[in-house]
Structure 1
Amino acid sequence: MHWLFDLGNTRLKCAPLHADGSVGEAVALEHHGAELDLGSAMARALPARIEVAYLASVASPDVTVGVLDALSTRCRRISRARTQSTFDGVTIAYARPEKLGVDRFLALLAAHARGGAALVCGIGTALTLDLVDGGGRHHGGRIAPSPTLMRESLHGRARQLAPHGGAYAVFAADTEDALASGCDGAALALVEHSLAEARRRLGETPRLYLHGGGAEDLLGRLPGALPAPGLVLEGLARWAAAELERPGPPVS
């Protein structure tokens, strides 16, 4: 059995990779700010033996090592995905490929494989935006705090400001509502501005894909946005398929 692992700053998403290249049902394990033994949680969620594990990680080195240690007890081989300047029809804009987070890279692969130009928005700890045209050329992107991180940062500097709660309103009449409206509104404005600039640059409106733990909160206020919760895992599946076809020893 082959499995895919997308390790972010908050969650580990795991999914089986089917023989036809499709991605099975994903399981998400929280690891940030929770009293959770991630190794034990993985042991409960995963089969006892895995032939190959494909890992993409943007988490801290200590969390990544912990996951690698947990995988090493049940996997014959572990392959770690890394950003490439050109891969699977996509050419990234960064002069130094290693500076582009592997989650963003894999999401671009998946978006391009779906066809057409795309603006890919990931909403996790950070909010990331990346534009890829129909020919696979990456035009670059943006990184900002996600609404959740904005709230947590405000609470960290001013403890009287609640780190969560409230409802979105254009002009709120309550502090919690105003916080929710301001932080969500900042994210919405960035996405909308990026979409307008993408349309101007490409001469067409790209598909807008939203993925990540915070995507659902913004979807309803971005007309035409497409939910893509498994986009990074889809891209990781494409990485895995290319590795299986690559001659010589596998990348790990």
Structure 2
Amino acid sequence: MSAWLFDLGNTRLKCAPLREDGAPGEAVALPHRREDAAAALAQVLPARFEVAYLASVADPALRLAVLEALGARCRRIAIARTQARFGALRVAYAQPRRLGVDRFLALLAAHARGGAALVCGVGTALTVDLLDGDGLHRGGRIAPSPATMREALHARAPQLPDTGGAYREFAADTDDALASGCEGAALALIERSRAAATELLGRAPPLLLHGGGAAALAAHLPDAIEIPGLVLDGLARWAAVERAAGG
């Protein structure tokens, strides 16, 4: 059975074939807009395949465009949703559906690695979630990512560029100051979360970074483990259970 995995975020659509061993194959990241979703997918997908496994946090109109494009190519589409419990993984939210499915799948993949973890996603948002060694999600945080901070500043003050600059502890020009301030804010949130996690668990959990903006922060977090495809890893594990259940 040929199957593909799709992680539809607010900025990019990541897709990968599902290998015979149940793991994601090589992932491709596509920029997306509602009007050209089909054309973007046509660049990487076969003309026909059996099943698509989709995780989406995008707006409904974009999700519908992607679903229509996939429906023209595959026999079945399975949409992943956050669950209160998935094996030993237990979600902290009283209303699990309010936890983004990308965060849920990243936690699922982190739990499969074994032990506790502080899971940080860096995309449109910066998300931080704590998972203990028993599979209990202790909750998390959501903030703007550095890229979103830059875009918001530029929208309010167009003279401030939305890209460019390099991280400096004390910058001597505006571009570097913007990069340093926005990345520094994200780093401070991660470090504060890690300190609180260490106090709560009694030891520092491994820090897992994923998402399109992870690399820039990883450069300042030398002990972080960067796993760009963590959500796709979790989606592959969700798909394995879905298939076993007869889906």
Fold shared by both chains (TM-score > 0.5): yes
The 8 Å contact of residues 32 and 40 in structure 2, kept in 1 or not, is answered as no
Question: Matched residues in 1 for 2:228 and 2:35: separation?
Answer: 23
Partner AA of 1:231 in structure 2: L
Establish whether residue 198 from structure 1 lines up as the match of residue 194 from structure 2.
no
Structure 1 unpaired stretches of 5+? none
Residue of structure 2 equivalent to 1:127: 126
Residue of structure 2 equivalent to 1:50: 49
Question: Matched residues in 1 for 2:53 and 2:157: separation?
Answer: 41
Residue of structure 1 equivalent to 2:98: 99
Alignment of 1:1-252 (within 5 A): 1-31=2-32, 37-247=36-246, 250=247
Shift of 1:41: 1.4
Partner AA of 1:22 in structure 2: A
Question: Matched residues in 2 for 1:41 and 1:223: separation?
Answer: 35
Shift of 1:36: 7.1
Structure 2 unpaired stretches of 5+? none
User: Secondary structure of 1:94's partner?
Assistant: coil
Question: Matched residues in 2 for 1:231 and 1:135: separation?
Answer: 19
Shift of 1:168: 0.7
The 8 Å contact of residues 169 and 180 in structure 2, kept in 1 or not, is answered as yes
Deviations along 1:150-197, whole A, 9 cap, x unmatched? Answer: 000000000110111111111111011110100000000000000110
Deviations along 1:177-231, whole A, 9 cap, x unmatched? Answer: 1101000000000000001100100011111010001000010101210011010
Q: What is the Cα-based RMSD across aligned positions, in Å?
A: 1.1
Equivalent pairs: percent with the same residue?
66
User: Secondary structure of 1:45's partner?
Assistant: coil
Shift of 1:18: 1.2
Question: Matched residues in 2 for 1:88 and 1:125: separation?
Answer: 29
Question: Matched residues in 2 for 1:242 and 1:102: separation?
Answer: 16
Question: Matched residues in 2 for 1:93 and 1:206: separation?
Answer: 18
The 8 Å contact of residues 92 and 137 in structure 1, kept in 2 or not, is answered as yes
The 8 Å contact of residues 29 and 38 in structure 1, kept in 2 or not, is answered as no
The 8 Å contact of residues 89 and 135 in structure 2, kept in 1 or not, is answered as yes
Moved over 2 A (4+): none
TM-score (normalizing by structure 1): 0.96
Question: Matched residues in 1 for 2:53 and 2:30: separation?
Answer: 17
Question: Matched residues in 1 for 2:213 and 2:35: separation?
Answer: 21
TM-score (normalizing by structure 2): 0.98
